[in-house]
Chain A
Amino acid sequence: MKDKKLSGAEILIKSLEAEGVEVIFGYPGGQALPIYDALYDSGIKHILTRHEQGAAHAADGYARATGRTGVCLATSGPGATNLVTGIANAYMDSVPLVAITGQVPQSLLGKDSFQEADIMGITMPITKHSFLVEDPAEISQVVKEAFYIAASGRPGPVLIDLPKDVSTVKAEYSKPDKICLPGYEPVLDGDRRQVKKAAEAIAQSERPLIYAGGGVVTSGAHEELLQLAELIVAPVATTLMGIGGFPGNHPLSLGMLGMHGTKYANFAVCECDLLIAVGARFDDRVTGKLETFAPGAKIVHIDIDPAEIGKNIQVDIPIVGDVKRVIKQLTEILSPDLREAWRDKITAWKKEYPLSYCKKGGLKPQYIISEIYRQTKGRARVTTEVGQHQMWAAQYYTFTRPRSFISSGGLGTMGYGLPAAVGVQVGCPEDVVFDIAGDGSIQMNIQELVTAVNYNLPINIAIINNGYLGMVRQWQELFYNRRYSQSELINPDFVKLAEAYGAEGIRVTTRDGVAPAIERAIRSGKPVMIDFVVDREDNVFPMVPPGGSLNKMLG
Chain B
Amino acid sequence: MRHTLTVLVENTPGVLARVAGLFSRRGFNIDSLAVGRTDNPAVSRMTIVVEGDDQVLEQVNKQLHKLIDVIKINDITKDAYVDRELVMIKVYAEAATRSEIMQLVDIFRGRIVDVGRKTLTIEVTGDEGKIDAFENCLRPFGIKELVRTGKIAMLRGLKPGTKNNGYKEEDMV
Please report A residues at the B interface, Cβ cutoff 8 Å: 120-121, 124-125, 128-130, 132, 149, 181-185, 305-307, 309-311
Binary interface encoding of chain B residues 13-28 relative to chain A, with 1 for a CB under 8 A from any of its CBs, else 0: 1100110010001000
Of the candidates B25, B62, B69, the one whose C-beta lies within 8 Å of that of A307 is B62
Q: How large is the interface on B (under 10, 10 to 19, 20 to 34, 35 or more residues)?
A: 20 to 34
Q: How far is the CA of A228 from the CA of B44 in the complex (A)?
A: 45
Does chain A have a CB within 8 A of B136?
A: no
Does chain A have a CB within 8 A of B70?
A: yes
Q: A120-B14, A183-B10, A307-B62 are in contact. Are A128 and B68 (CB under 8 A)?
A: yes
From residue 42 to 58 of chain B, which have CB atoms closer than 8 A to chain A? 55, 58
- Number of A-B contacts defined by CB within 8 Å: 48
B63/A183 in contact, CB under 8 A: no
Does chain A have a CB within 8 A of B109?
A: no
Does chain A have a CB within 8 A of B67?
A: yes
B17/A124 in contact, CB under 8 A: yes
Q: How far is the CA of A128 from the CA of B63 in the complex (A)?
A: 11
Most buried by B among A121, A184, A305, A310: A184
A162 to chain B, nearest CB (A): 15
Of the candidates B10, B18, B72, the one whose C-beta lies within 8 Å of that of A124 is B18
Please report B residues at the A interface, Cβ cutoff 8 Å: 9-10, 13-14, 17-18, 21, 25, 55, 58-59, 62-63, 65-72, 163, 165-167
B165/A182 in contact, CB under 8 A: yes
Q: List 17 A-B contacts (CB under 8 A).
A: A124-B18, A128-B68, A129-B68, A182-B10, A183-B67, A183-B70, A183-B71, A183-B72, A183-B165, A184-B68, A185-B163, A305-B66, A307-B59, A307-B66, A310-B58, A310-B59, A311-B59
Residues of B within 8 A of A305 (CB): 66
Q: How far is the CA of A307 from the CA of B65 in the complex (A)?
A: 9
A244 to chain B, nearest CB (A): 27
B55/A307 in contact, CB under 8 A: no
Most buried by A among B55, B68, B71: B68
B163 to chain A, nearest CB (A): 8
A449 to chain B, nearest CB (A): 36
Q: A130-B14, A183-B67, A183-B165 are in contact. Are A125 and B55 (CB under 8 A)?
A: no
Residues of A within 8 A of B9 (CB): 183
Residues of A within 8 A of B67 (CB): 183
Of the candidates B21, B58, B163, B167, the one whose C-beta lies within 8 Å of that of A125 is B21
In the complex, the chain B residue whose C-beta lies closest to that of A314 is: B55
Q: How far is the CA of A125 from the CA of B26 in the complex (A)?
A: 10
Q: A130-B14, A182-B167 are in contact. Are A306 and B62 (CB under 8 A)?
A: yes
Q: How far is the CA of A307 from the CA of B166 in the complex (A)?
A: 23
A310/B55 in contact, CB under 8 A: yes
Residues of B within 8 A of A130 (CB): 14
Q: How far is the CA of A309 from the CA of B135 in the complex (A)?
A: 43
In the complex, the chain B residue whose C-beta lies closest to that of A121 is: B17
Residues of B within 8 A of A309 (CB): 62
In the complex, the chain B residue whose C-beta lies closest to that of A130 is: B14
Residues of A within 8 A of B14 (CB): 120-121, 124, 130, 132
In the complex, the chain A residue whose C-beta lies closest to that of B72 is: A183
Residues of A within 8 A of B59 (CB): 307, 310-311
Residues of A within 8 A of B69 (CB): 129, 183
Q: How far is the CA of A37 from the CA of B166 in the complex (A)?
A: 41
Residues of B within 8 A of A310 (CB): 55, 58-59
Residues of B within 8 A of A120 (CB): 14
B5 to chain A, nearest CB (A): 15
Residues of A within 8 A of B55 (CB): 310
A229 to chain B, nearest CB (A): 29
Give the 7 A-B residue pairs with the shortest CB-CB distance, closest first.
Answer: A307-B62, A183-B71, A129-B68, A182-B165, A184-B68, A183-B70, A182-B71
A185/B165 in contact, CB under 8 A: yes
In the complex, the chain B residue whose C-beta lies closest to that of A180 is: B166
Q: How far is the CA of A121 from the CA of B63 in the complex (A)?
A: 18
Q: How far is the CA of A309 from the CA of B62 in the complex (A)?
A: 9
A148 to chain B, nearest CB (A): 10
B68/A306 in contact, CB under 8 A: no
Residues of B within 8 A of A306 (CB): 62, 65
Q: How far is the CA of A183 from the CA of B12 in the complex (A)?
A: 13
Q: How far is the CA of A305 from the CA of B13 in the complex (A)?
A: 25
